[in-house]
Structure 1
Amino acid sequence: MSKRLPSFYRLAQLGLDGFIAGSVCFLAFLIRFEGEIYPPHETLAWLLPLLAIPGRLLVHGGFGLYQQVWRLFGLRDFIRLLNAVSFYSLLVLVITRLLLPRFTAFTGIPLGVAAIDWSFCLMGMVAVRYARRRSIQQPLWRKSRHLFPPKRVLLLGAGMAGSLIVQEVRQNPHLNLEIVGFLDDDATKIGRRVEGIKVLGRTGQLLAIAQHHQIQEILIAMPSASAEQIRRIVNLTSGTTLKLKILPGQSELLQDRSLTPQARDIQIQDILGRTEVRLNLSQDFATPFPPASEQIGDRTILITGAGGTIGSEICRQLARLHPQRLLLLGRGENSIFTIEQELKRTFPHLPTTPLIADIRQTQRLESLLAQWRPEIIFHAAAHKHVPLMEHNPSEALENNTLASAQLAQLAPHYGVKTFVMISTDKAVDPCNFMGLSKRLAELFVKGVSQHPSSGGTRFLVVRFGNVLGSRGSVVPIFQAQIARGGPVTVTDPQMTRYFMTTPEASQLVLQSLAVGESGQTLILDMGQPVRIYDLAEQMIQLAGFTPGEEIAIEITGLRPGEKLHESLICASEQTRWTDHPQIMAVLGQVPTLEAWEQAMTQLKTALNPKESPEALWQSAQESQKILEGRNPSGCR
């Protein structure tokens, strides 16, 4: 039965095309001569339709038309059909008008007949193929409409992306969408049609048009839309039941993937107010160092904290640059297992080695460095939660500060060429133990660069603000609170923070290899800080709720150690641009060898289990004072 069905369909296709070829050819004569065909064309009027049936079928078979699936008839299939129909019509013209008159009494086919035959034949064959396609789609469409009324959608952007969305919705009835119209700010498009669907007005008229046409969902089909445009649309729909979705940006689109399934809910990074920074890791600069991609290729690289948000993203970015081996070091086995399995799936030919270790265990680290001899270390392991570290200050100082200093000290002895430490804006004029521990770590690592034993090792510090979506950061906390129905908790209405995406942060870390000199701290141009209260309101709106009504915003007050505003540079620091137009180098005090040793002794002495948090803070600040060669400006 399964073998007979294809044969039946093939015969049906041949029969339909043969019928169209013969009947259209005879009809062309009747139309051209208005129903009265006289000699010398009478014989051709009967002969050519009979020859057209096998003739066109043979030509169509040669062009592969009967290998097509009619229910999926598309543009490429149409072009092949056009070529086949045109080839046969030209062949008939050449034979009947140039060859036959030389050897026979035939006068040749009239041009009018040839033109009518060509056009009618093409239209007839396209029609039967399109009818076959519609015969499959229509029942599904009607069934889905009957069971689930289609969602009425308004497309913002009457460009190529919008056109492709319409095509895909028509080809996939199971999506159960009805594209009602377009909105576009291009005045020349208003009132015109794209894929048969009218451009109803400008985006500023969104609410009125949506209400008039009973729109349920807005799809932003503008892959290059700016953050300002998206924010304006979000504000327009604020307080309504309209659901917003957006196509991914141009860098996210894959050419061989369809667009509609990629449409996603608007994410908070879409409205942060600046364009996401994309760093070219292959770009060469006027520095003694080759591009980051060249420094990474064919080298063994160690990433501490490889299972964390930043560490795992650094691993993903590194994997694309073909290192010789990635050493994934972390204390938590689950997170290391997860990133290792992901890398094995995505980069099956990349050697990866999971290393479970605590960075405070100096002997364990020495053993691993001696065994694997990494040429680059990205040090991302750290305790990062401000309130938790306020309750566990000795953990912050031991893990974030002493362990970082000891790892930096070990690096030159095992052939490490570059040591990159990940820091945070909370290290700037710190007011909490977490920030102070990272500030001390910055100074100790920079101080190692001045040590005679540092050899040819380059020591870099990379400092950035809050990373969107990282574990324990404000965005996932807000998302969880909204999912529970609120309230969304904000510490202070005026609190601001710098934000960057995880790819931005990891690319900055990697690009530091190309532009950073030993002992430098590098920061990315992160635009303007974002008010956390505004962030909470926008996230509630994106979830389809009204801030303050459906989802409450609760002001909780500053937690211990929190600052109202963060900065990227200390009061004693200045910045200068590097050779990269979006990366700045921080100019500040680099500790001397004597200061380094004195501060280290001071800190180790202070880490006494019996020491109170207040005394520990004073001792840690004293270490900071020694390293900076000044009175620290931090607050407490």
Structure 2
Amino acid sequence: MTILPRFPSIYRVAQVTLDAIVASSAIVLAFTIRFEGRVPAEYLPLIKSILLIGIPSHLVIQGAFGVYRQIWRLFSQRDFVAIFQATSFYSLLLLFTVRLLLPRVLTLPNLPLGVAVIDWGFCLLGMCLLRLLRSWQTTQHSFSPKPASPAHRVILVGAGRAGAQIARETRQNNRLNLRVVGFLDDDRSKLDRQVEGVKVWGRVEHLVTWVKRLQVDEVLITMPSASSDRLQKIVELANADDISIKILPRVQELLLDRSLAGQIRDIRLEDLLGRPEIVLNFAQTLCPEFPSATAQIQNRTILVTGAGGTIGSELCRQIARLQPRQLVLVGRGENSIFHIDQELRQTFPLLEIVPVIADVRHAQRMEKVLHQFRPAVIFHAAAHKHVPLMEQNPTEAIENNTIASAKLALLADQVGVKTFVLISTDKAVAPSNFMGLSKRLAELLVSGIAQQSHTRFLSVRFGNVLGSRGSVVPIFQNQIAKGGPVTVTDPTMTRYFMTTPEATRLVLQSLAVGQTGQTLVLDMGKPMRIYDLAEQIIRLKGYVPGRDIEIKITGIRPGEKLHEALVDQDEEQRNTPHPRLYCLVKKQSGYLPVHPTLEKIETILQSSNLETLWQFLSSDYFVRCAPHKGLLVSDVSTREHQHKGADF
């Protein structure tokens, strides 16, 4: 096939032609000004030489500096810097050539220094003016058709760079059908001044006053780096008067392009989380013992259990971006596995994705799966997680979360998996319910397996995930949609919250810092009151708590605690190479004897006395052994546990 040469566009030719006219005019004007309108005849050959050789050279230099890759109507500070560098380089080269090199070959007069300086100034000024005029023309005469309906009147909260760009885009693009009527900002130096020709009317605290005075239809927050507390105050001001409000995404969400207007969205609960969202760099090598998370996943086979769940599916999305050789999706729910499989195939068409319908409790099935694919890393996200439901079905919690996890970890050791990551929860800390107990036992058993295995075993513990299936947020949203009431068990109850992307990032970054047998936690800031969360969700929906939507206190359910913790009393929190990740180490060395413990748990499940399961948390049951020295069998000393549950 013959490839035709790519010729420059008419637009590019016009750019070069206009710059050539500016450069030619600049050198002529420089000589004219320097000699006050009477240029000596001896300089005419020099002028002619510069016009014939110097100007084309100038244009070539500008091309080398990337000047002609610019879009004039989007002329920016970086574009100015490129023109400045190219023009300065040309002027210095011209001086060097004419004053030092040419006199050795030709009998031409020296180029006066004043002419070079004036020429440099006119070139820089003229070329920048051309681009600014083009940008101004685009601003004044938008080519997009004008909408039939009147423009939506918008006031911007935040007169910074993001606000200025939004104001510029709304003026240039009629399709947005937005008219920015003003700014609000708490910076006193900006008050009564203009940004992109739009006035900064006043402070944010007077939002309601200016909305009414300017007949605003919508408020847009253009402060991508604003704190959660500040956003919450703005939302409360707007919701108090039923004012429609939207926001630009946080800095981490913004796409790397020039357009911001297309990213305007409604305020989400994550914006009011109370701390900046945590973003981790998977390509960073944090510990000399382990490669980066990316290096451990790239071109490897990765297996995720519970791949159809909230955490599992988001984990698969994050892993797929790191370019594994093969991604195995394991889950027992065919619909959820089908959906994540289809989504990943559309988003990552080059990635080999293998959906596997399997129950992690079926050891023989999982053994076949692991032998068939031989994954380098296993992320074990399959689990039962609903506390009240597991209180009514405790054997299911123990079988699925404890026994199946331990047996899968043993299989990982047998197959030679490099790293096994168990997804755990803050409910495993001093557990008061069967769901928390099942995850705590899983942590202890996986840690015990790590002491006699070449596989690296990690547990990752985090708090409640916003928006996950069955979590409090979608329950509140459903209750609000039905008109209320929103039910809260106790007004003082608190929980740690994190977003789904944060949770999965923690899981992935654990690969780069976690030592075998360790439990890792994320710095999640302060816990949040569930009652406050309910109020915020009600306000985000445009209602007033207590007036439009009632909040009803229902009382603590069986197995619930008022406050969760991330670190147990017998654990010590230590730093890792990452400032937002911590590892937990037991204060007293000891590990559960894996096989005897599993046998004992299975025996207890067949009996009717499940309360004795709490005995495995007693330090009396642990064996004292140095890491990787093998496990000993110790006598079991039972411990009565004060747990108010039924006898199953």
> Kindly tell me: are residues 569 and 219 of structure 1, through their superposed partners in 2, closer, same or farther at Cα, counting changes over 3 Å?
closer
Distance 1:410 1:241 in 2: 57
For residues 113-512 of structure 1, what are the structure 2 equivalents within 5 Å?
A: 147-158=149-160, 160-281=161-282, 282-285=284-287, 288-450=289-451, 454-512=452-510
Contact 2:461 2:566 in 1 (8 A): no
The answer on 1:622 being equivalent to 2:619 is no
Cα deviations by residue, 1:520-556 (Å, 9 ceiling, x for unpaired): 2222121111111111111221222212222x13325
Distance 1:449 1:509 in 2: 18
Distance 2:393 2:244 in 1: 44
> Kindly tell me: are residues 237 and 486 of structure 1, through their superposed partners in 2, closer, same or farther at Cα, counting changes over 3 Å?
same
Contact 1:166 1:195 in 2 (8 A): yes
> Kindly tell me: are residues 499 and 80 of structure 1, through their superposed partners in 2, closer, same or farther at Cα, counting changes over 3 Å?
closer
Distance 2:640 2:287 in 1: 37
Cα deviations by residue, 1:192-237 (Å, 9 ceiling, x for unpaired): 2111111222223323333322223221111111222212222333
For residues 15-164 of structure 1, what are the structure 2 equivalents within 5 Å?
A: 147-158=149-160, 160-164=161-165
Distance 2:125 2:290 in 1: 65
Contact 2:157 2:204 in 1 (8 A): no
Task: Give aligned pairs, total.
Answer: 602
Distance 1:350 1:523 in 2: 30
Amino acid at match of 2:278: V
Contact 2:432 2:561 in 1 (8 A): no
Q: CA deviation at 1:465?
A: 0.7
> Kindly tell me: are residues 151 and 367 of structure 1, through their superposed partners in 2, closer, same or farther at Cα, counting changes over 3 Å?
same
> Kindly tell me: are residues 423 and 129 of structure 1, through their superposed partners in 2, closer, same or farther at Cα, counting changes over 3 Å?
closer
Q: Could you say what secondary structure the match of 1:329 adopts?
A: strand
Distance 2:644 2:358 in 1: 34
Distance 1:448 1:583 in 2: 21
Q: Could you say what secondary structure the match of 1:222 adopts?
A: coil
Contact 1:247 1:262 in 2 (8 A): yes
Cα deviations by residue, 1:122-154 (Å, 9 ceiling, x for unpaired): 999999999999999989999857623422323
C-alpha RMSD over aligned residues: 5.3
Q: CA deviation at 1:368?
A: 0.9
Once structures 1 and 2 are overlaid, which stretch shifts more, 333-342 or 525-534? 333-342
> Kindly tell me: are residues 80 and 446 of structure 1, through their superposed partners in 2, closer, same or farther at Cα, counting changes over 3 Å?
closer
> Kindly tell me: are residues 355 and 130 of structure 1, through their superposed partners in 2, closer, same or farther at Cα, counting changes over 3 Å?
same
Contact 2:371 2:415 in 1 (8 A): yes
Distance 1:634 1:418 in 2: 35
Contact 1:599 1:627 in 2 (8 A): no
Cα deviations by residue, 1:442-490 (Å, 9 ceiling, x for unpaired): 233223334xxx4312222211110111111112222233334333222
Distance 1:77 1:537 in 2: 48
Distance 2:572 2:611 in 1: 24
Cα deviations by residue, 1:575-625 (Å, 9 ceiling, x for unpaired): 22132333231427521347524533433433xxxxxxxx4xxx3331331
* Structure 2: runs of 5 or more not aligned: 1-9, 22-37, 39-58, 91-117, 619-637
Contact 1:496 1:565 in 2 (8 A): yes
Amino acid at match of 2:277: E
2:574 counterpart residue number: 577
Amino acid at match of 1:521: T
Q: Could you say what secondary structure the match of 2:329 adopts?
A: strand
Rg larger for = 1
Cα deviations by residue, 1:311-341 (Å, 9 ceiling, x for unpaired): 1122122223332221111111222222223
Distance 1:572 1:304 in 2: 30
Contact 1:154 1:215 in 2 (8 A): no
The answer on 1:526 being equivalent to 2:502 is no
> Kindly tell me: are residues 146 and 577 of structure 1, through their superposed partners in 2, closer, same or farther at Cα, counting changes over 3 Å?
same
Contact 1:592 1:627 in 2 (8 A): no
The percent identity for this pair of structures is 50
Distance 2:367 2:311 in 1: 24
1:538 counterpart residue number: 536
Q: Could you say what secondary structure the match of 2:190 adopts?
A: coil
Contact 2:567 2:584 in 1 (8 A): no
The answer on 1:566 being equivalent to 2:567 is no
Contact 2:545 2:551 in 1 (8 A): no
Q: CA deviation at 1:399?
A: 1.7
Amino acid at match of 1:549: R
For residues 591-606 of structure 1, what are the structure 2 equivalents within 5 Å?
A: 591-593=592-594, 596-606=597-607
> Kindly tell me: are residues 322 and 161 of structure 1, through their superposed partners in 2, closer, same or farther at Cα, counting changes over 3 Å?
same
> Kindly tell me: are residues 326 and 211 of structure 1, through their superposed partners in 2, closer, same or farther at Cα, counting changes over 3 Å?
same
Distance 2:615 2:80 in 1: 77
Amino acid at match of 1:576: Q
Contact 1:431 1:635 in 2 (8 A): no
> Kindly tell me: are residues 593 and 395 of structure 1, through their superposed partners in 2, closer, same or farther at Cα, counting changes over 3 Å?
closer
> Kindly tell me: are residues 136 and 518 of structure 1, through their superposed partners in 2, closer, same or farther at Cα, counting changes over 3 Å?
closer
Amino acid at match of 1:542: L
Q: CA deviation at 1:376?
A: 1.5
Distance 2:644 2:570 in 1: 17
Distance 1:170 1:539 in 2: 33
Q: CA deviation at 1:347?
A: 2.7
- Structure 1 runs (4+) greater than 6 angstroms displaced: 61-64, 70-84, 122-143
Amino acid at match of 2:527: P
Distance 1:167 1:393 in 2: 60
Distance 2:73 2:535 in 1: 46
2:5 counterpart residue number: none
Amino acid at match of 2:525: G
Once structures 1 and 2 are overlaid, which stretch shifts more, 595-604 or 311-320? 595-604
Q: Could you say what secondary structure the match of 1:147 adopts?
A: coil
**TM-score, structure 2 normalization:** 0.74
Contact 1:156 1:221 in 2 (8 A): yes
Distance 2:381 2:126 in 1: 67
Amino acid at match of 1:623: L
Q: CA deviation at 1:408?
A: 1.5
**TM-score, structure 1 normalization:** 0.76
Contact 1:298 1:324 in 2 (8 A): yes
Q: Could you say what secondary structure the match of 1:343 adopts?
A: helix
1:103 counterpart residue number: none
Q: CA deviation at 1:560?
A: 3.5
Distance 2:277 2:311 in 1: 16
> Kindly tell me: are residues 324 and 125 of structure 1, through their superposed partners in 2, closer, same or farther at Cα, counting changes over 3 Å?
closer
Amino acid at match of 1:517: Q
> Kindly tell me: are residues 135 and 183 of structure 1, through their superposed partners in 2, closer, same or farther at Cα, counting changes over 3 Å?
closer
Distance 1:498 1:335 in 2: 27
